[in-house]
């Protein structure tokens, strides 16, 4: 039986096992990927590994850029979720008003 995780859970598992030489590849993948959820978990896992990678000579040039990008994606996802929630709420209110008439 194979395990299948949601994207953010899988990437956190991967981050926690990355060597300094593998880190840039995953950073590139993350920068090219629309992350649907779990932004805080990914950022937390990345920050937990930062000192490990630095101590082992990993190139950290993209580190801050990646974290900024994930934070920006989080803001966009939160705004989209809020817009969706407001639209659904407006629909519920409209339905309730039409039921009352």
Question: Tens digit of pLDDT for each residue in 62-88?
Answer: 777 888 899 999 999 999 999 999 999
**pLDDT value for 28:** 86
If one compares 18 and 64, the residue with the highest pLDDT of the two is: 18
Q: What is the pTM of this model?
A: 0.75
Query: Torsion angle of alpha carbons 64, 67, 68, 72, nearest 10°?
Result: 170
Instruction: Flag whether pLDDT at 2 surpasses 70.
Output: no
Query: Which residue ranges make up each domain of the chain?
Result: 7-75
Rounded Cα gap, residues 87 and 33, in angstroms: 27
């Amino acid at each position: 039986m194979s395990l299948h995780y949601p994207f953010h859970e899988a990437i956190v598992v991967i981050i926690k096992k990355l060597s300094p030489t593998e880190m840039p590849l995953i950073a590139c993948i993350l920068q090219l990927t629309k992350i649907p959820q779990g932004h805080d978990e990914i950022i937390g896992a990345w920050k937990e590994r930062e000192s490990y990678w630095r101590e082992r000579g990993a190139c950290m040039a993209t580190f801050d850029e990646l974290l900024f990008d994930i934070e920006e994606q989080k803001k966009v996802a939160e705004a989209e979720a809020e817009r969706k929630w407001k639209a659904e709420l407006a629909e519920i209110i409209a339905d309730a008003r039409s039921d009352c008439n």
